[in-house]
Structure 1
Amino acid sequence: MTAVRTIGIVGAGAAGLTLAIYLADAGFNVEVLEKADGPSTLGSGITLQGNALRIFRDLGLWQQLEQKGFAFNELGLRAPDPEATVLAVLPDVRTGGEDLPATLGIPRAELTDIVRRRAVEAGVKIHFGASVTDVFQDTDSVTVRAASGATFTFELLVGADGHNSTVRSLIGVVDRPLRTGMGAWRAFVPRPSEVTRTDLIYGGPAYIAGYCPTGEDTMYAYLVERAQERDAHDGPRIMAELARAYGGPWQEIAESIREDTPINYTQFTAHIVEGPWHRGRVVLTGDAAHNCPPTIAQGAAMAVEDSAVLADELIRADSFDESLLLRYRQRREARIRTVVEASVQLGQWMLDGHKDADVPGLMHRVAHTVAVPV
């Protein structure tokens, strides 16, 4: 006898769908409510480190991810000089174990498509165009109302709807993401042949110039600057100008940015919901409960790890009470705090101009923390 049988998940991103797969495989009745009208094809690329790959391998998805993405085991550091001189090539920590690569770059749409198809195969029902407007609960159930007027009733509701979570607001959690002072331009562009790993340049007109290969012919490039109000319509021109200030592959990247190239600009934010991550029979997971700047590329990994831990607690429990959801948060809190605080600290060092900051030590501490399986 399990604690609950019917579970609703708000949000069809990687965190929500990962949780849905774990639960559906275990025999739960799972429905996902997604506000978008259909599967998203938007976004550039995403960096998945080994601890995220370990979760996806557990779900039988590694081979598909490997085929659609680009795996590598090194991190390059380049100088902000006209040649983008390679200063060092460092072996990356294989946080998922030695039988998985350290890092996989993959287009976001490909990742979501692979995970969504697996969820549907497991029996998960996905409702697109289901924008949640109200949540009501009693001692035994949770009822969700969508903007269309449709209602859904579950024994447990999970808010996996991102850092601007509607569910979080509806259940009265007041914690919100705060801007950290940095912003980033991102572009999804053709991959120059010499780009076979992530290379980072610290300095120049941006704090960080970096890229990640995502397939045989694709990659995403990013430039991190002090946060400011930017006109997205002017994005291709601004990003191309910034890119031209760097050498090496950046010259080819700059040339590939056209007027119609989709460019994304976001300001970095961070938060951790303090206290319980639930109210009654509604619980938060992934970016709805915590988020961090992408400075150490652990945001997606933390979200899917949440899903694995919450699923484990639900599958093992034979009754439902508050202690189940408290255990879930307790298992995640220290690890999440380490990652979020380190991600913010790395950015703050750059904003403050700390040239002697112990960046290698910070990165080493995080890598060895997340290398321990959840």
Structure 2
Amino acid sequence: MMAAAKKVLVIGGGFSGMSAAIMLARGGIETDLVEIDAGWRSYGAGISLHGATLRVFAELGILEAFKATGAATDGLVVRMPHNDQVIVTIPTPPMPGTGLPGNAAIMRPALAAILADATRAAGVSVKLGCSFETITQDELGVDVTFTDGTRARYDAVIGADGLYSKTRATLMPEAPQPEYVGQAVWRAEMTTPEGIETINMWLGKGLKVGINPVSAGRSYMFVTEDRPTNDWVEESELLPQMIALLDQFPSPTLTAVKEGLSEESKLIYRPLEKMLLPQPWHAGRVMLIGDAVHATTPHLGAGACIGMEDGLVIAEQLLRADTVAEAFTAHESRRWDRCSMVVHNSARLSEIEITGGDQKEHNNIMSRSMMALGEPV
């Protein structure tokens, strides 16, 4: 049986797009990838990863590179905000086949660099500083003109261009728009505090602080803030506002962290948004994956995981099916329950935090979701 496609275009060079491109090219499909950012940069501090992401890394062949650069730890520890007392420890079961514990983290730019190297090594043709201008389809293929004036024809196109996807806006103008959830997250990089060996969280009123190791001796901190309005924060305000938030936590650990923050701490602020596109996720021979169809808040640490899984699954289906239509239908069938679970459960966790809801429900959702993500894709 031949693959459903001989030549595929991937729009977007983020984690989802690179994962798809790597597996398509390794399967023998001629694969082009275009990325609008000429520097192919990945913005952000650290990223927390559910253990299932390590399983994806193993399939992509980048697990050893992750081990050399990132961190894998065991369990989630929740502490009191004033004295570091442990409230609960939630296990993070290891993923079979990885040889690693079930919690992981890495700096975003480091993961992006690992994937970029793997993308080029797989034989993907990468064009930076470029996106599509027009997409025109017929029964046999897709004609694409690019912003650099070139054009090409493909059997299928994969739109992996993120939350504010140009591909989605072009082909599905009536699609729902991203929705602000009423929380924002602040992030910073730091030396790992003494006694922090895995992800730790401190719960306050309208605030949650977490510290997660990302490499030997280094961690990143996130501060999730209930924020009714979707505000813009000037870069000059990042440090004083983050310090003001941490002032509400007398914890000895967080007090020491606060005193060590500076303009060199790679401070970042981002409002949290969600979006779940009803199926179908494709229009003709163009399939959307990743944040373009199921953007989630980071409460489960699974957004990157399910996006990269999309890349693996769409590549597998295109290599397995007889037609593009069959591949796309099979992909959507496999992905809906898992991806919608992450979006909905993450949103519910956010809602519980904002409304001061039942902490037991919060812990139960976390535990159930972690177990569900460990199931086969």
Query: After TM superposition, is the score higher than 0.5?
Result: yes
| Residue matched to 2:239 | 236
Give the distance between the partners of 1:67 and 1:58, measured in 2 at CA: 17
Q: Secondary structure in 2 aligned to 1:214?
A: strand
| Residue matched to 1:32 | 33
Flag the 1:163–1:141 CA change in 2: closer, same or farther, 3 A.
same
Q: CA deviation at 1:195?
A: 2.3
Give the distance between the partners of 1:263 and 1:57, measured in 2 at CA: 31
Q: Secondary structure in 1 aligned to 2:194?
A: coil
Native 8 Å contact 1:49 1:95 kept in 2: no
Q: CA deviation at 1:119?
A: 1.4
Q: CA deviation at 1:97?
A: 6.0
| Residue matched to 1:57 | 58
Native 8 Å contact 1:76 1:88 kept in 2: yes
**Correspondence list, 1:167-316, <5 A:** 167-173=167-173, 174-204=175-205, 206-227=206-227, 228=229, 229-233=231-235, 234-246=237-249, 247-316=251-320
Which amino acid letter does the alignment assign opposite residue 296 of structure 1?
L
Give the distance between the partners of 1:26 and 1:225, measured in 2 at CA: 44
Q: Secondary structure in 2 aligned to 1:27?
A: coil
* Percent identity over paired residues: 27
Q: CA deviation at 1:155?
A: 1.4
**Correspondence list, 1:323-334, <5 A:** 323-334=326-337
2:125 paired with 1:121: no
Q: Secondary structure in 2 aligned to 1:358?
A: helix
Give the distance between the partners of 2:168 and 2:26, measured in 1 at CA: 27
Which amino acid letter does the alignment assign opposite residue 128 of structure 1?
L
Q: Secondary structure in 1 aligned to 2:376?
A: coil
Flag the 1:91–1:184 CA change in 2: closer, same or farther, 3 A.
same
Flag the 1:138–1:67 CA change in 2: closer, same or farther, 3 A.
same
Native 8 Å contact 1:142 1:153 kept in 2: yes
Native 8 Å contact 1:95 1:372 kept in 2: no
Give the distance between the partners of 1:318 and 1:326, measured in 2 at CA: 12
**Correspondence list, 1:97-108, <5 A:** 99-108=99-108
Q: Where do 5+ consecutive residues of structure 2 fail to align? A: none
2:68 paired with 1:67: yes
| Residue matched to 1:358 | 361
**Correspondence list, 1:4-153, <5 A:** 4-40=5-41, 42-81=43-82, 83-95=83-95, 99-153=99-153
- 276-285 vs 172-181, greater mean Cα deviation: 172-181
Flag the 1:132–1:188 CA change in 2: closer, same or farther, 3 A.
farther
Q: Secondary structure in 2 aligned to 1:8?
A: strand
| Residue matched to 2:338 | 335
Flag the 1:256–1:148 CA change in 2: closer, same or farther, 3 A.
farther
Q: Secondary structure in 1 aligned to 2:215?
A: coil
Give the distance between the partners of 2:29 and 2:99, measured in 1 at CA: 31
Which amino acid letter does the alignment assign opposite residue 140 of structure 1?
L
Q: CA deviation at 1:96?
A: 5.1
Flag the 1:58–1:122 CA change in 2: closer, same or farther, 3 A.
same
Native 8 Å contact 1:144 1:153 kept in 2: yes
Count residues in correspondence.
371
Q: Secondary structure in 2 aligned to 1:220?
A: strand
- 253-262 vs 238-247, greater mean Cα deviation: 253-262
Give the distance between the partners of 1:249 and 1:143, measured in 2 at CA: 57
String of CA shifts for 1:126-149, please: whole Å, max 9, x gaps: 111013332222222223333333
- 149-158 vs 323-332, greater mean Cα deviation: 149-158
Flag the 1:63–1:98 CA change in 2: closer, same or farther, 3 A.
closer
Q: CA deviation at 1:340?
A: 0.9
Which amino acid letter does the alignment assign opposite residue 37 of structure 2?
A
Native 8 Å contact 1:232 1:263 kept in 2: no
Q: Structure 2-normalised TM-score?
A: 0.93
Which amino acid letter does the alignment assign opposite residue 151 of structure 1?
R
Flag the 1:136–1:96 CA change in 2: closer, same or farther, 3 A.
farther
Native 8 Å contact 1:236 1:260 kept in 2: no
Flag the 1:99–1:261 CA change in 2: closer, same or farther, 3 A.
closer
Flag the 1:243–1:58 CA change in 2: closer, same or farther, 3 A.
same
Which amino acid letter does the alignment assign opposite residue 65 of structure 2?
Q
